[in-house]
Every structure is written in structure tokens, then in C-alpha cells.
Amino acid sequence: MKEVAHFNLLDYNTFGIEAKCDYFIQYSNKEDAQQAASKLVAPFLILGGGSNLLLTKDYRGTVVKAESRFDVEVIKTSTDSVWLRCWAGTTFDEVVEYAVNHGYYGLENLSLIPGEVGASAVQNIGAYGAEAKDVIDEIEVIEISSGHQFTFKHTDCQYSYRQSRFKREWRNKYLITHVVYRLSTEFRPHLDYGNIRSSLDAQGIGMPTAEQLRETIVSIRQAKLPDPKVLGNAGSFFMNPIIDTERFKVLTKSYPQIPHYSIDEQHEKIPAGWLIEQSGWKGRSLGRAAVHDKQALVLVNTGEATGTEILALCDTVREAVRAKFDISIEPEVNIQ
């Protein structure tokens, strides 16, 4: 187990914000996690890959995270499924790549989402019509207050759009050590979300293989999303708002081309990036923070921006959307 006082978190957040914590603990296995749990006294921050985090100041407390390493094993198989047990600190996209390469399916549409396995179970990460909850089977945790080990089924976690009990009543109650994904041995591609099908058509691909679907989604994301190693960012900064159908019908009178995705008969999801672009903020900057010029859902650090500068841009963009559409867009990123 790694323990460091006055630790610099610059390399542990993809925004590239220089901030320190009073104490840093990194656990490498369940026993480490139990020992780490015994040392945690509020305030503390459970960190994943730092790809969903905005640090606005030094963190006056302890930061704890799973060691970053690739650790994946098949623990069970059936006639049509395989169960992958993955260490919480494994890079999530490495799991997607591993699964596709071995003929385990269900993660393809989640290709190139940044972050680690543990965070996938907390955030219920999603993209292109797929969510982590679709494939999560179990989550293995250490209870911080007692050090006891527990295993939750996905049904225990009350997953919804970018939400779980880990973000609500279970916040700061558990250290995740492993996530078990149940994947299919039969490839059933989901192509009717975003521009997946049009991108495949442009390549002359009618029915893709899993490898082709993953490569296409990776290419789409790379074309729209900046590399955090080049331009600091946390991927999608805002969640797509869900509004009631009656409110949506009113909006269509002024904006007949408004993009949307039906959730159910009473609710529609509106792309936050479209709202931001229509509000005039795509590609604009506020000091050293900016809205990305290719994907308005992404806020970027153009060079040595502080967390407070990025937060100021966030607030300004939210107010612009609220003023134009009377819709509130909420940050997906954990702001500290």
C-alpha cells in the first residue's frame, strides 16, 4: 500500500490541474483496501482515474484510490455468457479492448470512455445507447466504517442515467475493489444511436464485426473529443437533460430540428452539447478555459487554467442555456 503526505494530484486528474492533498493512499488488493479503510477519517475523496474530476483548490483531507493496473480474469462461463472480474484500477477501455479481442460482447459502444473500472460502477458510464448497468453483474467492495467485505448485485445499486446509490446514499461508504461484468458470447451490434450507422456506411460496412464497431466508435470519439494529454479535459462535462414531453413539444415550436432521444412516453433526453452550441458557446473561451470547438459538451484547459476558471466557465455556460431554453444542465463531473 502506498501512503504519501502532501501529495501532488497533477498527474491524477485529466484536466491537468495542479492541486495537492494532505494525504494520499493507494490500495493494491482487498487487504490493502481494508487497511486503507481503517485510516480514513473525513474529509476524504475516493478517486478513480481522475477523468471525471475538477479540482478547484488543494484538497484538505485524504485522497484514496485503487492502484492503476490491468487485472482481468474470466471467473465463469455459460452457453451464452462470460463473466469478467476486473480490478477497480484497471483502465476501462482496456477491458473493452480485451473483451472484443476475446469474443466477449456488450461493451463495444462504450469504447474509449476514459476512466477506470471502479468508476464505471459508480457513474453508470454510458455512450451511444449503452450503459455500464447493462453489463455489470456484481460489485465487490470494502465497507469503510467496518472493513467488512460485501458483494452487491447490479440490482442493489439502483442504476439510472449517470446515477447509482454509490453517488447518493452510499457516497463515501465503500471502497470498490472489483467489478464483474457479464458479457455475451453472441455479438448483437447496436448501431442506431448517434452517427454510428452513417460512419459505417461511409466505410462501406453494412453489418460490422465487433472489431469494426469498436474501431468506428473510437474514430468518432477521437474526431470529436480532445486528447487530455494534449488539451486538459474531463470528457463530457455536462449530463444530457431529461425533460417532460409537454415541455419538449413547446420547444419544438421554436426549434423544430431539436435533436432528442425518447426515454419513455413522458420524457425526452436533449443533447446538452446542442443546447450549449445553440446558446453560442461552442468554441468560445473564458480566460484560459474554453468550450471545445468540435464538441460543445467538453470544457477544456487551454493552458494552465485553474479549477476556479473552469468552474466559472461551467457556471457561465449553464446560465446561457438556462436563459435561452429555460433548461438546467447539470455537471457530470465531480467538482471539488
Q: Which residues are catalytic?
A: 162, 236, 332
Rounded Cα–Cα distance for residues 162 and 331 (Å): 11
Rounded Cα–Cα distance for residues 45 and 3 (Å): 14
C-alpha angle with apex 226: 128 to 199, nearest 5 degrees? 40
Residue indicated by cell numbers 477544456: 300
Phi, psi of 29 (to 5 degrees): -160, 180
Give Cβ neighbours of residue 81 (< 8 Å, ≥ 6 apart): 182, 183, 184, 185
Cis peptide before 43 (omega within 30 of 0): yes
Rounded Cα–Cα distance for residues 244 and 76 (Å): 42
Rounded Cα–Cα distance for residues 56 and 310 (Å): 8
Rounded Cα–Cα distance for residues 155 and 215 (Å): 31
Rounded Cα–Cα distance for residues 320 and 184 (Å): 43
Burial degree of 138 (CB within 10 A; 0-12, 13-18, 19+) = buried
Rounded Cα–Cα distance for residues 236 and 294 (Å): 12
Alpha helices in 137-258 (DSSP H): 196-202, 210-224, 245-254
- Expressed in angstroms, the distance from the first to the final Cα of the chain is 25
